A = this chain, B = another copy of it.
């Protein structure tokens, strides 16, 4: 399977030597999932952080009423996991499920710690990408409070055009925290304005 995207991605931030690349690849696992399969399920412990080589996945939370709430999407060159569960090795609150057939490279919790010790550059790499994820997450909180659903939908479309095309509308509605009927109304409005 193709590991190049992962190495290229890491090398945007740090420079791995060939030995470090070999060590990394020896201690990660490539894995394929079918559409519909779960990488982690609510209540289980999330054993892996997964880098997406190919495919599309959603992280979602199922509330007490059985309602699905999409937390995140992941496509090529993104990371996915229940990060809280992975970091604490306690049961997951979220589910990560494939929306398309997907290929990922997985870092297990045990190997991850060893890799940090042997390749300290990975601390820097993950520090930087998690900072970016944190900043994006903070922005989303504020946007959810301060912007209309229509503006947030337009922002989502322009920030993640690839996801918008690959994901069913009802999941986008869930990600935006609105009903599918309301999203459908917004889309109607946008088309009428064009």
Contact = CB atoms under 8 A, between A and B. Distances in A.
Interface of A: 61, 63, 67, 69, 71-72, 83-84, 87, 93-94, 116, 120, 123-124, 126-127, 130-135, 137-142, 144-147, 177
11 contacts: A61-B142, A63-B147, A69-B142, A71-B138, A116-B124, A123-B127, A127-B127, A130-B130, A133-B134, A137-B137, A137-B138
Contacts of A141: 71, 137, 140-141, 144
Number of copies: 2
A146 B83 contact: no
* Most-contacted residue by chain B among A67, A83, A84, A127 (CB, 10 A): A127
Contacts of A131: 83, 87, 126, 130
A135 B83 contact: yes
A94 B135 CA distance: 12
